[in-house]
Amino acid sequence: MEKTSCLHFCFISCLVLFIIVGSWYRSSISPLPGYSLQTQKPIDHSAETPHHPLDPLTVKEINRVRTILSSYEPFSFTFPTIHTILLDEPDKVQVLKWRKGDPFPPRKAQVLALLNGQSHVLNVDLDSRRVTGHAINPSSGYPMLSMDDISAASKAPFSNAEFNKSIAARGVSSSDLICLPPSAGWFGPNEEGKRVVKVLCYSKESTPNFYMRPIEGLVMTVDLDTLEVLKFSDTGRDIPIPKSTDTDYRYTAQTKEPQMEPLNPISIEQPKGPSFRVEDGHIVKWANWVFHLKADHRAGLVISRVMVRDSENGELRDVMYKGFASEFFVPYMDLDESWYFKSYMDAGEYGLGMSALPLVPLNDCPRHSYYMDGIFATSDGNPFVQPNMICLFERYSGDISWRHSEGLLTDFQIREARPKVTLVARTAASVGNYDYIFDWEFQTDGLINVKVGLSGMLMVKGSPYHQAPNQDAMSGPLISENLIGVVHDHFVTFHLDMDIDGANNSFVNVNLVKERSLPGESPRKSYLKAKRKIAKTEKDAQIKLKLYDPSEFHMINPSKRSRLGNPTGYKIVPGGTAASLLDHDDPPQLRSAFTNNQIWVTPYNKSEQWAGGLLTYQSRGDDTLAVWSERDRSIENKDIVFWYTLGFHHIPCQEDFPVMPTVTSGFELKPVNFFESNPILRAAPAFEKDLPVCRSSASS
């Protein structure tokens, strides 16, 4: 690029960045001042049609589902409250056989609804326009909370005399109150038979960060269907409401300069545009990867039909049929009356997709990102658009794909290195106080890096102390005056339907075993040896990770071999290996028994997707991954699903106040004997002539 044209390019970039103040594209919230979204053609969702069997339901299709249910005889007098309307995906065999241009398998919807306190699970055939399946209360539990549930429960306390009296006694104006309904969990038969929530309140006086101003000890148990306050608990009148000082985290509210050298603007410039493309709304093609990407009401983001191109013959090969975050378990470690129930299942109780607000351009996602909307249903069954909830972008942070240099000890003068450019699909769910960032990152060497970032606000407990007299007696450390950061965990269980070169796969535990050398055999006394064991049944594949009993965990296709005779495969490289330490008979752990192991392997079953069960809210743990796996079904050389639980123990600290710096962990899915050799050996290095030469005026 010539210097003049490049300077023009830089000037235009800066002009766009600092002068244009845009509003969100189809969004109801405003971005940070001074930023605008990348130009992207608006999508008329009302006219959309599906292009792939796994495409989510369109606006037209959701409207059709509502019409079908309206004339369905059991709902002829009273239309149920809709909690989810999602694509009932075709059988896997049908999807694998389908090719572009073929007729679609029948389009179907799965509906989770409530009527008269009962859970209804319905299957709707959109082509025949009829309900083909209807189960009532198929397991314990209820569908996830709807936005109407949350809104109504938040208002319920204000009509309660005891509540209003308590608030007045604390000197808080009702206009400064925000009340939120955390899920009630399940703690025995006395809490069954009704849909209930626990309502907690905060003061938003002088700050938008009301999470840091809890009204401690004030808890109401509310019946979600009648909106009656079933139980009123007020144990914290002696605990002051923490002050609002320094709680506002917004950029415009900061009055002091940051105590650091300022950073100059930074961006990845792509003068020729991104290297990826999105076809038919959901098919992503980049480098050697092809996959299907969509938004999901519950999982947030779903990756399907993942294929990578063979580095030798160019053929597309199957890697993964479907991957997504199946459940998110967050237990807090405080036995107080206003805290013991806080053990959330964020996907099954609130929905990671429903909680995914529009992403912030240039901050959540860089320039040249592609944004994707979600199409979901309201409580009355009408479609609505959740805008910009997924972004897709290329990332280059100066990492290296591979390198080697020679010259110190030989005549070769070699300096070979390759830059690592990756493709990222991202969504971010704001589930109440916490924000969860999910990244699926694809590398050209065949590796998939799955990351989860935790940010947002701590769930804090009011305290009478300004300084901790005895932290061991508290449920967490003081993070600010009158504020305790309660110790808690985060566990994310991923559903990974790996199809390595096809569906017939096996799970192999490659255990590293220490062995002693024989007398006189070697100066060495001990060494490690890799011993492979193929799991025959589900219980063989229930794995608790152990630092001093290391293994690699491979998914292989025993019928597909490399030229050297090795079965083609992928392995999981664990990260975030925190494990749940709760007793197995503790009610929260009964419901989240899928975290009892870090690894599970089950036979593929279309109905077994949600680790916490289809109906999670107030469930008793009778329909979970742990229950399914106890059947001990055969998994050798079968169509199998790999489950991995990523874990975080969180002991809060002062740096987490008033908003947390992001903490990230993840795991990798890495090819093992899948390629014949390094698949990016022939990748081109970067050359200066290929890049724009943009210099500041000081260096020009």
371, 434, 617, 644: which is the annotated catalytic residue?
A: 434
- Residue 84 and residue 291: Cα distance in Å, rounded? 25
Exposed, middle or buried: residue 313 (CB in 10 Å: 0-12, 13-18, 19+)?
A: exposed
Are the CB atoms for 9 and 694 separated by under 8 Å?
yes
| Annotated catalytic residue 570 | no
Q: Decide if 86 contacts 62 (C-beta within 8 A).
A: no
Q: Is 64 helix (H, G, I), strand (E, B) or coil?
A: helix
Strands 81-87 and 108-115: antiparallel
Annotate 607-630 with b (16+ C-beta within 10 A) or e (fewer).
Answer: ebbbbbbbbbbbbbbebbbbebbe
- Write out the two tokens for 521: 């055999």
What torsion, rounded to 10 degrees, do the Cα atoms 686, 688, 693, 697 define? Answer: 110
**Following DSSP, what letter does each residue of 463-510 receive, concatenated?**
-S-SS-S-GGGSSS-EEETTEEE--EEEEEEEEEEE-TTSSEEEEEEE
* Exposure class string for 584-595: b at 16+ Cβ within 10 A, else e: eeebbbbbbbbb
| 3-class state of residue 485 by DSSP | strand
Nearest to 56 by CA among 13, 92, 107, 91: 107
Long-range (24+ apart) CB contacts under 8 A made by 471-478 are 475/332, 475/333, 475/334, 475/335, 475/336, 475/339, 476/333, 476/334, 476/651, 476/652, 477/651, 477/652, 477/653
Name the phi and psi angles at 253, rounded to 5: -95, -5
Rg (CA), the chain: 27
Q: What share of the chain is helix, strand, coil (3-state, %, to 5)?
A: 15, 40, 45
Give me the amino acid identity at 335: L
Residue from 88, 296, 346, 435 carrying the catalytic annotation: 346
Q: What single-letter amino acid sits at 187?
A: F
Catalytic annotation on 72? no
Angle at 402 between CA 399 and CA 406, to 5 degrees: 120
User: What DSSP designation does 137 have?
Assistant: S
Instruction: Compute the distance between CA of residue 461 and CA of residue 483 in angstroms, rounded to an integer.
Output: 6
Helices (H) and strands (E) in the chain, counts: 8, 32
Q: Which residues contact 260 (CB under 8 A, 6 or more apart)?
A: none
In the block, tokens 């700050």 appear at: 207
| 330 neighbors 443 (Cβ within 8 angstroms) | no
| C-alpha to C-alpha distance for 552 and 574, rounded to whole angstroms | 9
Type of residue at 49: T
The phi and psi torsions of 179 (rounded to 5 degrees) equal -115, 140
Counting Cα atoms < 13 Å in the Cβ hemisphere of 491 gives 31
In the block, residue with structure tokens 């589902």: 65
Catalytic amino acids? Answer: 346, 434
